[in-house]
A and B are shown apart, each in its own frame.
Chain A
Amino acid sequence: MADTTTPLWDVIIVGAGPAGLAAALYTGRARRRTLLLEKKIPGGQILLTDWVENYPGFPDGVAPFDLTDSFRRQAQKFGAEFATDEVKGLSRTGRGWRLDGARQAYEARAVIIATGSDYRRLGIPGEARLTGSGVSYCAICDGAFFGDRDVAVVGGGDNALKEALHLAKYARRVTLIHRRDKFRGEKVYQERVLAAPNIKVLWETVIEEVVGQEQVEGLRLRHLREGRVETLDTAALFVSIGTEPLTGFVSGLLELNEWGQVKVGPDMRTSQPGIYAAGDVSDACPKQLATAVGTGVHAALSVEEYLAAQS
């Protein structure tokens, strides 16, 4: 039970990535008391990329931190408040919803879940042990440590292609390992990868083990069609095989789809009244910065309708 002295927010947004920041701008401009809870700092997963060149309005591209920091300032300008906390629980109250954070409890009439996603792990031997010692989930962060070395990337989507291209600037050779026989990523990136002289693609291949004592020394690979097993010498493995939605504290409360994303209706409502979802955590967002922003705005507009209908 939330005690009645807990301040009642009109809307609490969980997660300050692009979706949450865009939602906060709109609920703030609607003059709704808005609190944005973020466990790290505002920005979200896009901060793991080096350069954004597919967000409309920036023909020369933009640094992700500059972009999300301007989102934050814009939301704050219109009254959204920010707090650092990690939400651990969500439960119904007489007035709306109670959110249990690691630091304190909060209460709101409506909630927007914009927790986003975290990178997916391969789950193979050696991966966890050698993380930070050659296994990395952020080529932008760690690529420069492997200048003139041989490195590997696993994945076939936009991010894997971008990471391979980024690494090709430093590394002697980049081996891109993909379990399918074609990429899923944007054609522009596919063309650049296939044209890069120091990127080699291994198709229909999976990694079975990351090998190394103190640091990554190689990978044990298996060719899916031929069954052939081989070892690739590499100083690093950059894992870029997609993301997992962060739904820990809503599982059991909200309906999820088979990939663990929060199911939303056409107005971003979830299976519970007053709870909306936006961005990568929802099943309505194709994991693009622009669609995260779009679904965040949409959720905020739906929250406004919901609140207006209540009072």
Chain B
Amino acid sequence: MAAEGIIHTTDATFEADVLKSPIPVIVDFWAPWCGPCHMIAPVLDEIAQAYAGRVKVVKVNVDENQVAQRYQVLAIPTLLVVKGGEVKEKAVGFLSKDKLGELVAKHL
């Protein structure tokens, strides 16, 4: 179950949810059949709560959306930190809450 404050975006809403966001966004490219994506889900829930109002967490299901191609995503989970429409950070694979927190904190 996704925590409150996590948005599931699509190709159609990606621009509004991510690129036009007034606050930094963590974009999680995931898919239901990916084990490590399940592993990182609770970390994202914690980050969404810890940074509520300051950082937005947005998930993109790569099975149903094409937007991953635009960011050369070739592995999941891939996390992007996007601020002002620009990719500031890219991380592939599992990250602990502390590590992800550090990545995000740089762009607050």
Residue numbers in B under 8 Å from A86 (CB-CB)? 96
Q: Is the CB of A65 within 8 A of B35?
A: yes
What's the least CB distance linking A85 to chain B, in Å? 10
A39, A131, A138: the one within 8 Å of B35 (CB): A138
Which of these binds chain A: B13-21, B47-55, B68-76, B100-108?
B68-76
Give the residues from 8 to 66 in chain A that come closer than 8 angstroms, CB to CB, to chain B.
Answer: 39-41, 43, 46-50, 64-65
Give the distance in Å from the alpha carbon of A50 to the alpha carbon of B76 in the complex.
14
Give the distance in Å from the alpha carbon of A86 to the alpha carbon of B95 in the complex.
13
Instruction: Give the size category of A's interface with B.
Output: 20 to 34
Residue numbers in B under 8 Å from A134 (CB-CB)? 74
B36, B68, B72: the one within 8 Å of A138 (CB): B36
Q: Closest residue of chain B to A132, judged by CB?
A: B92
Residue numbers in B under 8 Å from A138 (CB-CB)? 34-36, 75
Q: Is the CB of A40 within 8 A of B94?
A: yes
Given contact pairs A41-B42, A141-B36, A215-B74, A131 touches B94 in the complex (Cβ within 8 A): no
B33, B39, B92: the one within 8 Å of A40 (CB): B39
Give the residues from 70 to 96 in chain B that come closer than 8 angstroms, CB to CB, to chain A.
Answer: 72-78, 92-94, 96
Give the residues from 209 to 255 in chain A that come closer than 8 angstroms, CB to CB, to chain B.
Answer: 214-215, 236
Give the residues from 125 to 141 in chain A that come closer than 8 angstroms, CB to CB, to chain B.
Answer: 131-134, 136, 138, 140-141
What's the least CB distance linking A71 to chain B, in Å? 14
Q: Is the CB of A140 within 8 A of B34?
A: yes
- Is B60 in contact with chain A by the CB < 8 A criterion? no
Given contact pairs A131-B92, A132-B93, A64 touches B74 in the complex (Cβ within 8 A): no
Give the distance in Å from the alpha carbon of A310 to the alpha carbon of B77 in the complex.
46
Q: Closest residue of chain B to A235, judged by CB?
A: B74
- Is A142 in contact with chain B by the CB < 8 A criterion? yes
Residue of B31, B34, B73 most packed against chain A (CB within 10 A)? B34
- Is B63 in contact with chain A by the CB < 8 A criterion? yes
Residue numbers in A under 8 Å from B96 (CB-CB)? 39-40, 86
Give the distance in Å from the alpha carbon of A49 to the alpha carbon of B94 in the complex.
16
Give the distance in Å from the alpha carbon of A145 to the alpha carbon of B71 in the complex.
12
- Is B62 in contact with chain A by the CB < 8 A criterion? yes
Give the distance in Å from the alpha carbon of A9 to the alpha carbon of B7 in the complex.
40
Residue numbers in B under 8 Å from A215 (CB-CB)? 72, 74
Residue numbers in A under 8 Å from B98 (CB-CB)? 102
Give the distance in Å from the alpha carbon of A65 to the alpha carbon of B35 in the complex.
7
Q: Is the CB of B63 within 8 A of A144?
A: yes
Q: Is the CB of A142 within 8 A of B75?
A: yes
Residue numbers in A under 8 Å from B77 (CB-CB)? 141
Q: Is the CB of A144 within 8 A of B35?
A: no
Given contact pairs A132-B93, A141-B34, A144-B31, A47 touches B75 in the complex (Cβ within 8 A): no
What's the least CB distance linking B64 to chain A, in Å? 12
Q: Is the CB of A47 within 8 A of B38?
A: yes
Q: Closest residue of chain B to A63, judged by CB?
A: B33
Residue of A50, A132, A215 most packed against chain B (CB within 10 A)? A132
The 9 tightest CB contacts between A and B, nearest first, are: A47-B35, A132-B92, A141-B34, A132-B75, A142-B75, A41-B39, A145-B74, A40-B39, A48-B35
4 additional A-B pairs beyond A43-B38, A236-B74, beta carbons within 8 Å, are A40-B39, A65-B38, A138-B75, A144-B31
29 contacts between A and B (CB under 8 A): A39-B96, A40-B94, A40-B96, A41-B38, A43-B39, A47-B38, A49-B35, A50-B33, A65-B38, A102-B98, A131-B75, A131-B92, A132-B74, A132-B75, A133-B72, A133-B75, A134-B74, A136-B74, A138-B35, A138-B36, A140-B33, A140-B34, A140-B35, A141-B37, A141-B77, A142-B75, A145-B62, A145-B68, A146-B74
> Which residues of A pack against B, CB within 8 Å?
39-41, 43, 46-50, 64-65, 86, 102, 131-134, 136, 138, 140-142, 144-146, 214-215, 236
> Which residues of B pack against A, CB within 8 Å?
31, 33-39, 42, 62-63, 68, 72-78, 92-94, 96, 98
